[in-house]
Chains A and B, each alone.
Chain A
Amino acid sequence: MVNENHQRVLHSSCNPTESRRFFKRGQLKIQQMAFMLIGVTLLFVFVGIFFLAINLYDVQKTATSLEEDNALSLVSKLANSPEFSCGNSFGSSRSNCIDFDKLIILQGLSSKYQNFWGITKIQIRKIYPEDETICTEENYPDCGIINLLDKKVNSTAFTSNFVSLCRKDLSESAIYDKCELALLMVASEDSG
């Protein structure tokens, strides 16, 4: 076989037409192999991209699910954190009680507290008596919705918890505790 090739080489070196045909066949083989190489590489790249996409989708799903879990577990405890909780200001210690005065102050500090709780939105909505007015320093306390945090990112649906919203009020020169029913709503980032 090798000798045959040698003979062909020697023969073709003498005959120009034969020699051109032999090199053309060689070129064709090289082209075939180049195409084959490109094909194999592309196949691997596509398979790789496919697996990476699946992997990435899974990671994104897990991230969103963990963020949701975070929001869910946080909403039941957020009312007890020092920035929100009533403490002992309204008589005895109350669980799930939010200090309305602190909220309105906190609203002005939203840039400082932007990343503090690891969630994207916090809204407190008075549900009884219902009031659709958005709270500002000017209309406080005659309002019903406080947007404490509102990051402009993709967010999941709100998770909520019932709380009592308390503040001190004045009635005929007597100070009393005024508590209303409210909904504490939080949303987390949607990575998907």
Chain B
Amino acid sequence: MEKPSLPSVNKMLKNHRGALEISFGWLFALIAGAVILFLAIYLSTKIIGTSDETISAETGKEITVLLNPLETSFETAQTTSITISSETRINNICDSISPFGKQALQLDQKRFNEWTNTDTDISSYNKYIFSEDQIEGKTFYLFSKPFNSPFKVANLIYLTSADDVYCFMNAPTEIKEEILNLNQENLIVDNCTRGSIKVCFNGGTCNITVDYSDGEVKKGKDILYFYEIDDSNALMYAAIFSDKEVYECQVKRLMLRLEQLALIYYDKELLTRKVGCDDNLGTELIQLSSLADNLNNSADLNVIKINAEDITLKNNVRKCLLW
């Protein structure tokens, strides 16, 4: 094979000059620069994401801690508010898994006019928050009421955004008074403002209709059932402020707690019998516990109500009250 002559090699190199003009130093600088830039962008995105998750988790936990003082002793209702520095969307996540279900709050915050979706949720097992499944705003109002059936089961917490104004029309006097006493800015009575959510107590074209005597709250096509054996109206407010999914799940969780409490009172009756206290509620408490365990949805609450009323009467005539 013939060797190429020197002028022809020179010609070849001349033709490929462009390829040889990038020195190794330049090539290294370009590759290293690209890698460093890519890493910097990737890590910044990750760090911003993690910081969003952290903020969401911290705020969620702070809210959960703030809910502790809402545990009432003998007060009828308590109210408080939370203001978060940036526009926030609270996702109310409820899980009715045994033994007591789970309440979780997941917070998304607005950044550059976009909602940052976070996966971190803050869970608690002893809180019952009633709200729409997603509420938005900067200021949120919370008020709580004890739920008794027939003994105290839990404090129900109602979470609303300051942006959602609820207007109660033709409400019974005790409800009107209670709302006025709460002094919560987004709860108004009769003089409804434009854009407010109208809650009617005697029918009419409203966003929410309450049938007080039948224990029903109608929201569009959904009907949520409630009952009261005292005058607290705790479940009625719960049905007004939450959507069907959250309400049904929280009611199921309440029944899980009621089931356990009924068994505790059953054991207490056995204990107090040793010192001479009466023994008249055993069967009813076991029955109540079993009914609570088998509750499917709020439509079954009426059976619990009948049983709870019967137990209340029997407890009131005891020598030693069980609760």
Known: A2-B20, A77-B68. A87 touches B272 (CB 8 A): no
B275–A169 touching, CB < 8 Å: yes
Per-position 1/0 for B255-271, Cβ under 8 A of A: 00100110010011001
Per the bound structure, the CA–CA distance linking A118 and B100 in Å amounts to 13
B54–A80 touching, CB < 8 Å: no
Known: A87-B151, A105-B267. A81 touches B71 (CB 8 A): yes
Q: Which residue of B lies closest to A111 (CB)?
A: B99
CB-defined contacts of B68 to chain A, threshold 8 Å? 70, 73-74, 77
Per the bound structure, the CA–CA distance linking A81 and B264 in Å amounts to 13
Per-position 1/0 for A14-34, Cβ under 8 A of B: 000000000000000110010
A118–B323 touching, CB < 8 Å: no
B37-92 interface with A by 8 A CB criterion: 39, 43, 50, 54, 58, 61-62, 64-66, 68-69, 71-74
CB-defined contacts of B125 to chain A, threshold 8 Å? 115-118
How many chain A residues touch B (CB < 8 A): the figure is 53
B252-299 interface with A by 8 A CB criterion: 257, 260-261, 264, 267-268, 271-272, 275-277
Per the bound structure, the CA–CA distance linking A115 and B71 in Å amounts to 18
CB-defined contacts of B99 to chain A, threshold 8 Å? 112
B100–A116 touching, CB < 8 Å: yes
A80–B71 touching, CB < 8 Å: yes
Known: A118-B126, A175-B276. A109 touches B260 (CB 8 A): yes
Q: Which residue of A lies closest to B53 (CB)?
A: A59
| B181: interface (CB < 8 Å) | no
Min C-beta distance of B80 to chain A, whole Å: 12
Select A44's contact among B28, B39, B54, B320, beta carbons within 8 Å.
B39
CB-defined contacts of B43 to chain A, threshold 8 Å? 48
Name the residue in A63, A87, A95 with the highest tally of chain B Cβ atoms < 10 Å from its Cβ: A87
CB-defined contacts of B2 to chain A, threshold 8 Å? none
Select A175's contact among B62, B66, B277, beta carbons within 8 Å.
B277
Interface-lining segment among B6-14, B105-113, B186-194, B223-231:
B6-14
| B152: interface (CB < 8 Å) | yes
A87–B152 touching, CB < 8 Å: yes
Min C-beta distance of A85 to chain B, whole Å: 7
List residues of chain B with CB under 8 Å of any chain A CB. Answer: 6, 9-10, 13, 17, 20-21, 24, 28, 32, 36, 39, 43, 50, 54, 58, 61-62, 64-66, 68-69, 71-74, 99-100, 124-126, 151-154, 257, 260-261, 264, 267-268, 271-272, 275-277, 319-323
